[in-house]
């Protein structure tokens, strides 16, 4: 996992492996993503991932929730197949781009 | 209208009992090694219980079976293994499920937390690993405070369920988005998922959705692998018919899906997506009762309450009595037309009775399927290795008898493993295979079901039983010594009689075998025991296949009328007094060369009057063969077998009682019980009795007397008996002989043989004809005394003449135990020698002459 701070954007890049099951480190890392001013846009991306652990999804959504609470805009950039699964499960309320 | 679930509850209980039996058998197979079919069978059984428990709202059963199912699923997927600890845990859970299912409708409560924690062990570990530290207890699911009215109305109007489902997928081992999605797909196969979503609450990411379905939502969710407590029913159909439809939806065919779909389409809602049915969920949810037996379509079966079947049986029994009465009346009145109608009705009553009895027949399998678990557990506790062989599971027995024989059978099997079969090291040292063998088989024989439990263990210790009987004051030392093995084995059926040195978890408390026998006897059956010291033990339970209607032959002696089970009567003969010989104890009858012991009912049953000995009934069971004398033989009769009551239940020689057409009550005699009471040697023993134990002879002997000296020859030689008339003995050259079956048989006079003084024949003499090798000879006897079977201390013979095995005391008289072979050989040699000497002398004389 990488996260890059660039002006008003905070980018968190996750690998397919990061989203696999039982990646405890990811859960902890996402919990520790610093949501500080001045960035106002959180971009979470996971390229090449075709599945996502429920625990990992929870950590992502938790991060999204915290970011929103801090006034961040959030953008998720996930592969289409995974996005369709999210939509089917009713996770479409998120800004999936 | 409130839903009446009582009917489903009853069906659930009986179906779950069957499923649990199947589950246990599958576990025992898995214990022996990996078996994909067994794990699937186990999974299906638990899955079915879980699904059905949702219908009857047995939530605790659902929760526990869900935990078990989840564990089994992880084994199926190879995430965990079926080690011995898991086997124990699964069996323990099956036991608990059985208790809970049977306790449905009572106030009994069970604490399953510990079991669930153990079952979830693997899963919890995984979930814990994924869980951030310091996570607190999670809520089971989201709760909806106010159901959306539009949806509720829709469900009510269409008569289907509306439910709100929410849960943490991790609780159901759904650990990835793909798995959660597949779960939703599964739900969509049976119902309509509406407005799915996720909600993050604390550390939990809940999945939620609304669901319309014709099936019970809890069962549906469970069948897709979700937790049952995730379901909050917002609207349920009011008619019980819908519930039945919900239950029927567990049928193996995919009709459930199509019915759900059509129901939804009829309701004007969009149908669930047409997905090809996945084999697992539909195949998993088949309750045993839904599977048609013997390949017949399900609609050819009708479930009726047991109480109704009982009523039919009772009414059928009464109709037999009334039928007998009518037949008697028709015979008395001598009215031909009435007699014809009575006979026609009699045939119909017999036919009806036969068919009604079949209504209640069930396969032995329902009892036998419990044995593997029992044997496994008992063997574990006692540290033994036992192979169980079960045969005859297809044999059918009356439902009530089956239920009643189950506990006695379990007791006998437990005893065999605990007391009979030895531990591996002991077996090895005795030259036996380390693994004990226990065979349980059922067979149908002449209207009776014979259940045989046979082990290859140590057998019963006859001497220990004798000592115990003396110690407990049941018998004097003298009586114990005189008792036959059958009589000694009978002691273990006495209340509180146990030779176990220690009280174990499984047995040794001396309770049980008395209850076993009295229970079986109460059902009109009997239990017999045969032991082969050091080789094993066989317990045989014999029960009528259907309760109660028995074919009997009526016979009387003096003023007493008895019924004898027709199957036990081999033949009826008019007595020829010349073939009947009274002995000091009892009588024998010469039946076509066979010496048949004859029981004296007058003496045995202490009857007031003694009849004339006109007819001989030759009784033949698989255990005994003997004769009984009667002075009148009546017709055959069918009886409703009635137990003879608690007070007389210990009397093994009565099988029960029956009521004749005129209301007279007759006692039905038990042929085996009489044989045992008379101390007869069982048939089979003839071949086996010739072994000796220590210094004692355990053989059935035929006792006879010649001029005051008592002799004994083994009954196994099957001596023929003949009373000699004047002129029967003649000289063939210089050898005394008799003519028998066209053969000239040499006569042996034992007094002369042993060098005693020759004494004149008395007016009544007998010839005992015996075959020894190629020779057949006649032993002369002045009195026929008895057939005896008892342990006799035998001392070495005082005479040096060949032909005496030993000497002992029988019936307070010194007795010479004959070695007939030696007598005959010696006699032949003597004669040959004598002839040779005579011949030499003759030759010498001729030479001199």
> Which residues of A fall within a CB distance of 8 Å from B199?
none
Dihedral, B161, B167, B171, B177 alpha carbons, nearest 10: 100
Q: Show Cβ contacts of residue B70 under 8 Å, excluding neighbours closer than 6 positions.
A: B119, B120, B123, B172, B173
* B130, B184, B198: residue with CB nearest A91: B198
Interface-testing mutation among B135, B171, B176, with chain A (most A C-beta atoms within 10 A)? B176
What is the average pLDDT value for chain B, to the nearest integer? 75
Smallest Cα distance from A34 to chain B, Å = 18
Q: Answer yes or no: are the C-beta atoms of B766 and B780 closer than 8 Å.
A: yes
Nearest CB among B131, B178, B195 relative to A51 is that of B178
Chain A (1-20) residues lying within 8 Å, Cβ to Cβ, of chain B: none
pLDDT in tens, B243-254: 444 444 333 333
How many other CB atoms are there within 10 angstroms of residue B665's CB atom?
Answer: 11
For A4-56, the pLDDT digits (tens) are 777 778 888 887 777 776 556 677 777 778 777 777 888 888 888 888 888 88
**Using N-to-C axis directions, what is the helix angle for B306-333 and B399-415, rounded to 10°?**
110
Minimal Cα–Cα distance from A97 to chain B, Å?
Answer: 18
Residue B130 to residue A21, Cβ atoms within 8 A = yes
pLDDT at B4: 54
Question: How far apart are the CA of A86 and the nearest CA of chain B, in angstroms?
Answer: 8
* A55 vs B contacts (CB less than 8 Å): 130-131, 170, 175
CB proximity under 8 Å: B 97-126 to A = 126
The answer to whether the Cβ–Cβ distance between B198 and A53 falls below 8 Å is no
A73 Cβ contact list (under 8 Å, min separation 6): A40, A41, A42, A95
Q: What confidence score (pLDDT) does residue B256 get?
A: 35
The pLDDT value recorded for residue A57 is: 87
Cα gap B684→B314, rounded to integer Å: 39
> Do B196 and A88 make contact, defined as CB atoms within 8 angstroms?
yes
CB contact under 8 A, B181 and A24: no
Residues 160-179 of B with CB under 8 A from A: 169-170, 174-179
Residue pairs between chains A and B whose CB atoms are closer than 8 Å: 71
Q: Please judge whether A27 and B174 are an interchain contact, meaning their C-beta atoms are less than 8 angstroms apart.
A: no
Nearest chain A CA: its distance from B46 CA (Å):
27
Contact between B209 and A24 using a beta-carbon 8 Å cutoff: no
Write down the pLDDT at residue A24: 61
Angle, in degrees to the nearest 10, between helices B36-55 and B6-32: 160
Residue in chain B closest to A84 (alpha carbons) equals: B181
Is the Cβ of B132 closer than 8 Å to some Cβ of chain A? yes
The interface predicted TM-score of the complex, written ipTM, equals 0.91
Among B440, B410, B436, B438, which residue's Cα sits nearest to residue B422? B436
Q: How far is A44 from chain B (nearest CA, A)?
A: 17
Inspect the interface and report whether the beta carbons of A85 and B209 lie closer than 8 Å.
Answer: no
What's B418's DSSP letter? I
Sign of the Cα torsion B282, B284, B289, B294 reads positive
Whether residues A90 and B205 touch (CB distance < 8 A) is answered with: no
Mark the ranges of chain B whose per-residue pLDDT is less than 70: 1-8, 79, 121-140, 145, 228, 238-301, 446, 495-512, 547-549, 584-585, 593, 643-651, 683-699, 757-758, 761-763, 789-793, 796-801, 831-849
pLDDT digits (tens, 9 = 90+) for B445-498: 767 889 999 999 988 888 888 888 888 777 777 777 777 777 788 778 776 665
Which helix (DSSP H) or strand (DSSP E) does residue B551 occupy?
A: strand B549-557
Length of chain A: 97
The Cα of A88 is separated from the nearest Cα of chain B by a number of Å equal to: 7
Kindly report the pTM of this predicted structure: 0.47
Residue A65: closest CA among chain B residues belongs to which residue? B200
Contact A88 B132 (CB under 8 A): no
pLDDT at B433: 92
pLDDT of residue B277: 31
Please list, in sequence order, all residues whose beta carbon lies within 8 angstroms of the beta carbon of residue B352, skipping any fewer than 6 positions away: B316, B319
A contacts of B203 (beta carbons < 8 Å): 58
pLDDT score at B792: 66
B134 touches chain A (CB under 8 A): no
User: Is any Cβ of chain B less than 8 angstroms from the Cβ of A85?
Assistant: yes
């Amino acid at each position: 996992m990488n996260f890059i701070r660039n002006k008003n954007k905070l980018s968190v890049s996750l690998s397919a492996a990061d989203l696999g099951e039982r990646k405890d480190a990811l859960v902890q890392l996402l919990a520790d993503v610093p949501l500080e001013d001045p960035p106002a846009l959180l971009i979470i991306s996971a390229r090449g991932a075709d599945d996502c652990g429920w625990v990992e999804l929870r950590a992502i959504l938790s991060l999204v929730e915290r970011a929103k609470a801090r006034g961040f805009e959030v953008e998720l950039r996930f592969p289409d197949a995974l996005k369709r699964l999210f939509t089917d499960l009713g996770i479409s309320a998120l800004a999936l781009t | 209208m409130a839903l009446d679930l009582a009917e489903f509850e009853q069906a659930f209980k009986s179906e779950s009992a069957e499923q649990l039996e199947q589950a246990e058998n599958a576990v025992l197979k898995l214990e022996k090694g990996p078996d994909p079919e067994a794990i699937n069978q186990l999974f299906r059984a638990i899955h079915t219980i879980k699904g059905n428990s949702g219908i009857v709202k047995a939530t605790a059963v659902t929760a526990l079976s869900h935990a078990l199912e989840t564990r089994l699923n992880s084994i199926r997927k190879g995430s965990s293994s079926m080690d011995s600890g898991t086997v124990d845990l699964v069996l323990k859970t099956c036991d608990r499920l059985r208790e809970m299912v049977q306790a449905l409708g009572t106030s009994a409560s069970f604490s399953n937390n510990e079991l669930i924690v153990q079952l979830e062990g693997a899963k919890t570990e995984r979930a814990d690993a994924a869980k951030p530290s310091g996570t607190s207890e999670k809520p089971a699911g989201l709760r909806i405070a106010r159901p959306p009215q539009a949806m509720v109305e829709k469900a009510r109007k269409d008569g289907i369920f509306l439910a709100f489902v929410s849960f943490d997928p991790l609780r159901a081992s759904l650990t990835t988005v793909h798995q959660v999605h597949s779960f939703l797909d599964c739900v969509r196969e049976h119902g309509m998922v509406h407005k799915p979503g996720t909600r993050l609450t604390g550390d939990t990411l809940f999945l939620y959705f609304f669901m319309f379905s014709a099936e019970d939502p809890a069962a549906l969710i469970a069948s897709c692998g979700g937790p049952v407590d995730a379901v909050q029913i917002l609207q349920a159909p009011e008619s019980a018919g819908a519930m039945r439809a919900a239950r029927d939806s567990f049928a193996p065919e995919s009709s459930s899906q199509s019915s759900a779909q059509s129901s939804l389409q009829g309701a004007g809602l969009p149908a669930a997506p047409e997905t090809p049915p996945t084999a697992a969920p539909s195949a998993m949810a088949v309750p045993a009762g839904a599977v048609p037996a013997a390949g017949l379509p399900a609609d050819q079966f009708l479930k009726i309450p047991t109480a109704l079947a009982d009523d039919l049986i009772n009414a059928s029994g009464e109709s037999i009595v009334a039928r007998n009465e009518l037949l008697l009346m028709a015979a008395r009145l001598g009215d031909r037309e009435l007699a014809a109608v009575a006979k026609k009705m009699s045939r119909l009553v017999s036919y009806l009775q036969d068919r009604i009895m079949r209504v209640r027949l069930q396969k032995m399998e329902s009892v036998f399927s419990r044995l593997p678990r029992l044997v496994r557990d008992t063997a574990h506790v006692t540290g033994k290795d036992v192979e169980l062989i079960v045969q005859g599971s297809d044999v059918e027995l009356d439902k009530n008898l089956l239920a009643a024989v189950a506990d006695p059978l379990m007791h006998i099997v437990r005893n065999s493993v605990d007391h009979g079969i030895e531990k591996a090291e002991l077996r090895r040292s005795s030259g036996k295979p380390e693994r004990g063998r226990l065979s349980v088989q059922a067979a149908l024989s002449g209207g009776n079901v014979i259940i045989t439990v046979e082990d290859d263990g140590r057998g019963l210790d006859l001497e220990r039983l004798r000592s115990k009987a003396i110690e407990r004051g049941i018998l004097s030392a003298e009586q114990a010594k005189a008792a036959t093995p059958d009589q000694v084995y009978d002691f273990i059926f006495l209340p509180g009689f146990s030779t176990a040195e220690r009280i174990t978890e499984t047995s040794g408390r001396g309770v049980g075998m008395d209850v076993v026998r009295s229970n079986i006897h109460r059902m009109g059956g009997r239990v017999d025991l045969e032991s082969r010291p050091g080789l094993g033990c066989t317990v045989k339970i014999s029960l009528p296949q259907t309760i109660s209607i028995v074919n009997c032959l009526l016979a009387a002696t003096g003023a007493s009328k008895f019924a004898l089970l027709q199957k036990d009567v081999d033949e009826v003969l008019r007595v020829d007094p010349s073939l009947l010989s009274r002995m000091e104890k009892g009588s024998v009858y010469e039946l076509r060369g066979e010496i048949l012991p004859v029981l004296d009912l007058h003496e045995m049953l202490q009857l007031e009057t003694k009849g004339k000995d006109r007819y001989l009934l030759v009784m033949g069971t698989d255990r005994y063969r003997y004769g009984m004398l009667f002075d009148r033989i009546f017709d055959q009769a069918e009886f409703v077998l009635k137990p003879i009551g608690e007070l007389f239940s210990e009397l093994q020689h009565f099988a029960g009682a029956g009521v004749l057409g005129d209301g007279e009550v007759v006692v039905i005699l038990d042929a085996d019980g009489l044989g045992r009471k008379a101390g007869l040697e069982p048939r089979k023993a003839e071949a086996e009795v010739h072994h000796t134990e220590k210094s004692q002879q355990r053989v059935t002997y035929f006792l006879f007397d010649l001029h005051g000296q008592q002799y004994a020859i083994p009954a196994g030689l099957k001596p023929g008996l003949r009373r000699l008339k004047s002129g029967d003995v003649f000289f063939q050259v210089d050898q005394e002989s008799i003519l028998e079956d066209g053969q000239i048989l040499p006569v042996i006079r034992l007094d002369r043989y042993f060098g005693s003084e020759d004494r004149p024949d008395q007016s009544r003499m007998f010839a005992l004809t015996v075959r020894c090798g190629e020779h057949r000879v006649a032993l002369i006897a002045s009195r026929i005394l008895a057939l005896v079977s008892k342990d006799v201390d035998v001392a070495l013979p005082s005479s040096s003449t060949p032909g005496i095995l030993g000497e002992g005391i029988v019936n307070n008289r010194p007795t010479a135990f004959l070695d007939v072979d030696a007598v005959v050989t010696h006699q032949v040699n003597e004669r040959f020698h004598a002839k040779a000497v005579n011949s030499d002398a003759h030759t010498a004389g001729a030479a001199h002459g």
